[in-house]
Amino acid sequence: MTLYHRILERIDDKRLDIITLDVFDTIVFRHVNYPTALFEKVVSEVPALNGFSGEDYRVLREQAERAAREQASHKEDIVFEEIFQCMPFDTVTKQTLLDAELLAEKNHAMVNESMVAVIDTLLAKGVSVALISDMYLSEQQIKDTFFFNWPTLYKLPLFVSSEFGKTKHSGSLFRLLAKTQAWSFSRWLHIGDNEKADVSSPHAMGIQTLYFHPALDTQRITAIESQHFLADTHSSATRLLASLQQDGNTQVEQVAFEIGAFVWGPVFDAFTDWIIKQSDASGCKHILCLMREGYLFTPLVKRKLELQGRKDIKVSAFYVSRKSAFWPGIDTSQPQWLENVMDTLMLYRGYTLKNFIRDFHLSDELLSLLNGDLELKNIENLFVEGEALYARLVREAKVHTTQLEHKIETQRRLLKTYLKQVTSAKYSECAVIDFGNGGTIQHNLEVILGESAGANLLFYASIRAYRFVEKTLCRAFISPGTERFHVSKKLARSPECIEALLLGDKGSTLSYKQNNGNVEPVLAKGITANKELCEKFLSGCLSFAENAFKHGKPALEAATVQAIVARYILMPTDLEASLFTQLYHQDNFGTDGEYTVIDEGQKQLINQYGLEKSLFKLTGDKDWELGNVHWPSGVIALIDNDFIPRSLGLLDADNHYHVQILIKKLLNLKWHTVSVYGAGEFFRDILPLLKSNGITVERVIDRRAQSDESISVAGYRVTTIEDALYQGSRHILITSYAFREEIANRIMHAAAEQKLDNVQMISV
């Protein structure tokens, strides 16, 4: 059930007759990757800004708004014009900037058609619908800028904080509307995307709420992509709208869909776009998506071609694996070919003695003498019955040389026949797609077929992909020669962070067999437990591709894609990582074992090292605990969601983060009444959560109260620290991060002057 269906269901179940909706990121979305990026679009439209970069003007515009809010601290919100009065330009230029920003808003905005459809349904049911926005724009500016083509929205009542001087954030706008519109809290549902203004604040006064937002912390994700990985500007609107189409029945299904829609959907949309362009450039008529990742890539490439109206290129899933291409590719004419095969198998993680005995048709006698789960790579220096185990295996395998040669020749013939069944195109006209990273399968296919593919395309490549440089040409979307942030190395080290989601419930291809005149792949048992989550992930990826196409958004640039992938690998959120406690991984060489990507044992190992040492080790050694901790940063995120971004200084200016920390501190201390020192933006951010957690604000303290002028913020009269202490304030919450030590000293000095020794403080 989608969020849109849940709205209608809630109305019917609860018999509610008053519905209010937030405007921005609920009904109106902007095609920028973060809201203030819109200001950068103004520069090219205003001659007076000649010489300014977009980033310079954005900072100037942000500071002007900050100054306007400080000057208007007696009310809860400002009007649009007040911002430009704080700009260092003449009157005409200020008006030009204001008009240019409104035009930029109009040009980069889009309306959520699905929500408009919900509103139309509600109105048809006789439900009262209105819009409420915490916004500096006026009612008329919002309607003329965003709703000019939407009669339903244009006619709806619209209540804006700038016109009332009261906000949803503080709750005062809800109270005012309840009084002036005679709306009953018990029959009222409010819908919006802001956790404080649209959920905790109205909920605290008895209004029912619906949080219209993905489960993922998309704001944090895009902030880190932009700040730390310098992601180029792009449309977060398409990512958000795609995510909001989720229909998962459980949170884990919802998260799987959203990781597809918000994170990997944009990435794979760019990859499929690149595949098609590479296929065109190579003259390819058929795209072969190698299984098992072909489970995901086949429908994505097909859908991309459909959206583009292309019917000239066919797409097929091609069942092949490292193992099914390994055996037919063995050259039995080479001396010591058997020893060379064994040396290769000893490189594969997870390939066990039991696998070897099965593949080489040996007797099970050795299994009674040794552990069958012993990995082949670990048999050196082991002896059995006085003979080196390696030598014993070679000796017994050679007994079956004729049988093995027949197996190799048969599999080679069957694979060639299978390819002809899949495509009528020449192999030299096929683009062969694999996830990565070494191009082994594509090289073996060319050896087996004696023909080069039209294009061998990888999502990512490590330097290993170039070991076949004399015979096989591979091209990678993310390669060692073009990458930023060492993405290919990070993926090669921790492919488990995504691979399980690409495979569905498809087992690895073990071999090929003849059946009723056709050749069929013989598959290992797939992981049925992954099926539902993989389907949700695929649906999310498709949702992004379709939304991006619908809104005319081109595929992301490669640099932006790499920023998205790098953030995901190195700084996942706890919800993203939690999905992988429910997913199992299975090696692609047909080995028997499967394992949970993240489990409790890995958490314990990280805790034994300590988070700080683990991050240090991970940064300096790509192979650290390889095979034991599959996705180290994912495990760290589950232990402490904020540790990695906090360690890199990315949360220093994050009010949302500091608000959550302070609320936890207050609840742990069981402070039910506090005085707040600091009457600025942070106070406005934390106020709704203080109220929703049953914490009463008795006084608001600020140095500005030392002037004779009476100051009020969010309905609280601002007082001095001396007066607050005299009136009984003993628990003080400091909301300034930059000046917390200075403020603490000021409080202690004032307390000492009044001979008070029971004043307690906490700060961010």
- Residue whose C-alpha is closest to residue 476's, from 488, 493, 458, 463: 458
- Separate counts of helices (H) and strands (E) for the chain: 35, 24
- Return the SS3 of 671: coil
Compute the average pLDDT of residues 254-270: 97
- pLDDT higher at 49 or 687: 49
Q: What is the pLDDT of residues 455-472, one digit of tens each?
A: 999 999 988 888 888 889
438 pLDDT band (50/70/90 cuts)? confident
With a cut of 90, say whether residue 418 has pLDDT above it: yes
725-729's contacts with Cβ under 8 Å and 24+ in sequence apart are 725/750, 725/751, 725/754, 725/756, 725/759, 726/754, 727/699, 728/698, 729/675, 729/698, 729/699, 729/701, 729/759
Q: What is the pLDDT of residues 205-226, one digit of tens each?
A: 999 999 999 999 999 999 899 8
Compute the average pLDDT of residues 262-275: 97
Q: Quote the pLDDT of residue 342.
A: 80
Q: Reading across the β-sheet that carries 128-133, which strands appear in turn?
A: 158-160, 128-133, 18-21, 188-192, 208-211
Q: Quote the pLDDT of residue 709.
A: 65
Residue 744 to residue 572: CA distance in whole angstroms? 35
Residue 391 to residue 518: CA distance in whole angstroms? 40
Domains in the chain, please, with CATH? 3-213 (3.40.50.1000), 655-763 (3.40.50.20)
- pLDDT higher at 61 or 622: 61
Top-confidence range, 10-14, 397-401, 476-480, 702-706 = 476-480
Q: Where are the beta strands (DSSP E) in 503-661?
A: 509-515, 518-523, 584-586, 594-596
- Residue whose C-alpha is closest to residue 172's, from 206, 205, 130, 210: 205
The encoded tokens of residue 127 equal: 């439900």
Half-sphere exposure of 148 (CA within 13 A, CB side): 10
Q: Let me know: does 437 contact 464? Beta carbons within 8 Å.
A: yes
Q: What is the pLDDT of residues 745-756, one digit of tens each?
A: 999 999 999 999
Place of tokens 């300014």: 52
Q: Let me know: does 369 contact 389? Beta carbons within 8 Å.
A: no
Kindly tell me the burial class for residue 619, based on how many C-beta atoms sit within 10 Å of its own C-beta (0-12, 13-18, 19 or more).
exposed
For Cα atoms 222, 228, 230, give the angle at the middle one, nearest 5 degrees: 75
With a cut of 60, say whether residue 262 has pLDDT above it: yes
Q: Quote the pLDDT of residue 494.
A: 93
Compute the average pLDDT of residues 414-422: 94
Q: Quote the pLDDT of residue 574.
A: 97
The encoded tokens of residue 554 equal: 């081109």
- Residue whose C-alpha is closest to residue 32's, from 656, 560, 558: 560
Cis peptide before 437 (omega within 30 of 0): yes
With a cut of 80, say whether residue 169 has pLDDT above it: yes
Q: Quote the pLDDT of residue 541.
A: 98
Total length of the chain: 764
Residue 207 to residue 193: CA distance in whole angstroms? 15
Compute the average pLDDT of residues 518-536: 92
% of the chain with per-residue pLDDT over 70? 98
Kindly tell me the burial class for residue 627, based on how many C-beta atoms sit within 10 Å of its own C-beta (0-12, 13-18, 19 or more).
exposed
Q: What is the pLDDT of residues 46-87, one digit of tens each?
A: 998 988 998 899 999 999 998 898 788 778 899 999 999 999
Residue 503 to residue 287: CA distance in whole angstroms? 18
With a cut of 70, say whether residue 588 has pLDDT above it: no
Compute the average pLDDT of residues 191-204: 92
Q: Backbone dihedral region of 287: left (phi > 0), alpha (psi from -120 to 50 degrees) or beta?
A: beta
Which residue intervals of 400-459 are DSSP H helices?
A: 401-422, 440-449
Q: Quote the pLDDT of residue 63.
A: 93
589 pLDDT band (50/70/90 cuts)? low
- Return the SS3 of 52: coil
Q: Quote the pLDDT of residue 664.
A: 87
Q: Let me know: does 259 contact 579? Beta carbons within 8 Å.
A: yes
Rg for the chain (alpha carbons), in Å? 31
Which residue intervals of 475-573 are DSSP H helices?
A: 487-493, 499-502, 531-550, 558-570
For residue 301, the one-letter residue type is: V
pTM assigned to the model: 0.87
Compute the average pLDDT of residues 31-50: 89
123 pLDDT band (50/70/90 cuts)? very high
Q: Quote the pLDDT of residue 23.
A: 97
Compute the average pLDDT of residues 353-362: 84
- Residue whose C-alpha is closest to residue 237's, from 548, 575, 565, 573: 548
Look up residue 651 and give its DSSP letter: T
The H-or-E segment that residue 699 falls in is strand 696-701
207-210's contacts with Cβ under 8 Å and 24+ in sequence apart are 207/174, 208/10, 208/14, 208/16, 210/3, 210/6, 210/7, 210/10
412 pLDDT band (50/70/90 cuts)? very high
Q: Quote the pLDDT of residue 756.
A: 92
592 pLDDT band (50/70/90 cuts)? low
Q: Quote the pLDDT of residue 82.
A: 96
With a cut of 90, say whether residue 579 has pLDDT above it: yes
What is the signed CA dihedral for 408, 412, 417, 423, rounded to 10 degrees? Answer: 140
573 pLDDT band (50/70/90 cuts)? very high
Strand pairing category for 712-713 and 760-763:
unpaired
Compute the average pLDDT of residues 536-548: 97
Compute the average pLDDT of residues 738-745: 85
Residue 643 to residue 649: CA distance in whole angstroms? 10
Residue 243 to residue 265: CA distance in whole angstroms? 10
- Residue whose C-alpha is closest to residue 229's, from 686, 668, 562: 562
Q: Where are the beta strands (DSSP E) in 301-399?
A: 314-319, 383-384, 387-388
For Cα atoms 544, 545, 547, give the angle at the middle one, nearest 5 degrees: 65
Q: Quote the pLDDT of residue 708.
A: 59
Residue 722 to residue 753: CA distance in whole angstroms? 9
Ranking 94-108, 186-200, 230-244, 556-570 by mean pLDDT, the lowest is: 230-244
Strand pairing category for 208-211 and 188-192:
parallel
Mean pLDDT rounded to a whole number for the chain = 90
